Structure 1
Amino acid sequence: MTDALPTRSRLVAASLESAGIAGTIIVLPDAASTAALAAAALDIEVGAIANSLVFWSDDEPLLVMTSGAHRVDTRGLAERLGRGTIRRATPEQVLAATGQPIGGVAPTGHPAPLTTIVDEDLAAFPEIWAAGGTPHTVFPLTFDELVRLTGGTVAKVD
């Protein structure tokens, strides 16, 4: 029932429904603002967490959906993408670009589409979990659904 979800999560749920993705957003009792916390709360491998990281590159936000098992190599990713410097967005930039707080950024439900990179390592998991717009909400989907939902480019990010 989406009425019980926070406003930001309702936007994400509507986006999932529009995309034909069946994953239901669940509310966790405790915040899962890191991949490790989310994995522990869901009792899954940290690598199956699709961690939403917002960076700033070439004067625009760049959303990187990475496996929770590793960090993004911003220098290597910039080279592979033919971009200038990729640096972490500030909390204010994250909120402005996504409408969602750090620790709860979903792959969808943003004010406008974001250029998105999807970590190729997430393809190893039959089911992955992503934030649902707040640090207390998450939802399941497949790698293919994540790529389709975000219109993302699959790439090596670590």
Structure 2
Amino acid sequence: MWKKSILMVLVGVLSVTGASSIYAKDVVNTNESNIVVPYMDYINDATVGLKITSDGEAQVRSSIVGYSSSVDKVKIEATLQQCKNGRWVDLKTWSKSYSSHKGNLGETYQVSKGYSYRVVTKFTAYSGSKTETQTVTGSEVKY
């Protein structure tokens, strides 16, 4: 019984400390995921967002912040996907690079009603000849 009580306390402490390291935000008909990943050498923060307006305009947003002390360039490659017949199909891909430790991408695309959509973004941070990549998949938004 004593061991079981200690185990329950440890699980509770780990649950509380683990929950504080992840932040996600949902807004009406919007999906924005602010994701804090396990410590990375060059990428500090990566954000993916998708909003679909009432007239079917998908608004894609992706941003990256690298560590300013080491990152000299970043690249963002965002792909809007549609769920069709149970499979995710690429609709449109955009790419943007910055000679900075941070950058963002904002694009729009007209989508059809009756489907779910999501954004998959590949973030790359450069430090001299070294690179680090993080791929973030946003949650689906139904339209």
Q: Same fold (TM over 0.5)?
A: no
TM-score (norm 2): 0.27
Relative CO higher for 1 or 2, CA cutoff 8 Å, sep ≥ 6? Answer: 1
TM-score (norm 1): 0.26
Which protein shows a greater Rg?
A: 2
Q: Considering fraction of residues, name the structure with more helix.
A: 1
